[in-house]
Chain A
Amino acid sequence: MDKTQLLIALALALFALGLAGVIVRRNLLVMLMCMELMLNGVNLSLVTFAQQAGAAAGAVLVFLIFVVATAEIAIAIPIVLLLVRRRHTLDADAYADLKG
């Protein structure tokens, strides 16, 4: 197993772990952090492939993902605070109104 395969496997593992966390965890903030973990996995795969191909476009995309992650957190945290103020809990199951 060479270096590229190792890094890509690590990136995929981080992505799958983050996805598992989003599905499985109950705490809203922990779910947000698991989404960050997924973004980190994608970043690692982008950097690995950009480095392998010698192309700077992958690194540019990593920077754009940084910005998107920052914007996501900047808007997700106020929404979580608003939800907590309304129901006084971080439990995702407390917000299952749309399930009917």
Chain B
Amino acid sequence: MLETLLANLDTILLVVFGVSALVGGVLVTVLRQPMRVAMALISTMVFLGGIYGLLGVHFIAAFQVLIYVGAVMVFMVYVIMLLDTRDPAQSRRFSSLVVPGAIASALLLGALVYGVVTSLPPAAESARPVGAFGVTEFAIAFLGEYWLHFELTSVLLLAAVVAAVAVIKASRGEHG
């Protein structure tokens, strides 16, 4: 019993993390308070990081936790704490588009799952041993082949910072 459990530990953990991430995603969509939504999203991201770790891409797992949870979501939580919680938008959860939106998303999910899962190769083919890549292969591809994209992202970040400063300036000019 214990041996089979240990032999399938990877798969069991993968399923557990996947189900937990899915539950977190559902909670993000239905919870009322923005702070609880943020907590559900953080748990989803951490579980996805666990899935990345199980898949063997540990550096992406680390950056998932560092960048998404550590930077993006902390920023989001700060903003939620800054804003007024007595806002009526926080007591009314859904807009008037709730029924068509839910139906459209369910239809999209069905179409996507049908299209993608049926076009994937059957399990026997996809179960072939793959040359798992590590940090070395990633770094060579990242800084050898895709260095231009990497540099362009720095331009994007600079543009975002300048735009954020411009937005703040615009709001200041309006009120005083």
Interface, chain A (partner B; CB < 8 A): 1-10, 12-21, 23-30, 32-34, 36-37, 40, 43-44, 47-48, 50-57, 59-60, 62-64, 66-75, 77-82, 84-86, 88-94
Minimum-distance CB pairs A-B, first 6: A23-B101, A20-B105, A91-B89, A16-B109, A2-B123, A71-B160
Contact with A along B101-132 (1 / 0, CB 8 A): 11011101100110011001001001100111
Distance of A77 from chain B, by nearest CB (Å): 5
A-B pair count, CB < 8 Å, reads: 241
Give the interface size class of chain B.
35 or more
Interface, chain B (partner A; CB < 8 A): 11, 14-15, 18, 21-22, 25-26, 28-29, 34, 37-38, 41, 44-45, 48, 51-52, 55-57, 59-60, 63-64, 67-68, 71-73, 75-76, 79-80, 82-84, 87-90, 92-98, 100-102, 104-106, 108-109, 112-113, 116-117, 120, 123, 126-127, 130-133, 137-138, 140-142, 145-146, 149-150, 153, 156-157, 159-161, 163-164, 167-168, 170-171, 174-175
Interface contact A52-B101, CB-CB below 8 Å: no
Bound CA–CA A10/B25 (angstroms): 10
Looking at chain A's contact residues, the main secondary structure is helix
Bound CA–CA A66/B112 (angstroms): 24
CB-defined contacts of B55 to chain A, threshold 8 Å: 7, 47-48, 51
20 A-B pairs with CB atoms under 8 Å apart are A2-B127, A3-B14, A5-B120, A9-B117, A17-B26, A25-B93, A25-B94, A27-B90, A33-B41, A44-B48, A51-B55, A51-B57, A54-B130, A60-B146, A72-B160, A74-B161, A75-B163, A81-B79, A81-B171, A82-B168
